[in-house]
Amino acid sequence: MPKRREFSPEYKAKLVIEVLREETTMSEIASRENINIRQLSNWKTEFIENAARTFSRSRDEKAAARQVEEMKEMECAYQAKVGQLTLEVDFLKEVYRKIHGYEWEARNGGKG
């Protein structure tokens, strides 16, 4: 049994676009390319049904990229806030040590 031929998406699109231009008939294209006319018709139908995806996917990709950028900005803001709070905690610990002395740390198990 002969192996089925496989066609690339680019090849299919090229033929379907040629069909849609209506410069040659579907029968002529199918005959020239040695493809069953029904197969070419199926490709055309699939192409037309999925045409809207071209535009919606682009919009979805832009929205996703925008969301990623926003998340990166939020991450930077959170990192800056963590850094600021760390500095404040370290400062307050030092002030507390100066006021209460290092014996307070010894009493609390070095958690100071």
pTM: 0.51
Contact 14, 8 (CB under 8 A): no
Residue 61 lies in a domain: no
Domain count of the fold of the chain: 1
Alpha carbon separation from 99 to 67, 95, 96, 102 (Å, rounded): 48, 6, 5, 9
Residue 13 lies in a domain: yes
48-87 pLDDT tens trace: 998 887 777 677 788 888 999 999 999 999 999 999 999 9
Q: What CATH number is given to the structural domain containing 12? A: 1.10.10
Average pLDDT, the chain: 88
Show the domain range for 33.
1-49
100-109 pLDDT tens trace: 887 766 776 6
Residue 3 lies in a domain: yes
How far does Cα 53 stand from its chain's mean position?
15
Residue 41 lies in a domain: yes
Q: Which residues contact 96 (CB under 8 A, 6 or more apart)?
A: 104, 112
**Comparing C-alpha atoms, which of 7, 112, 106 is closest to residue 15?**
7
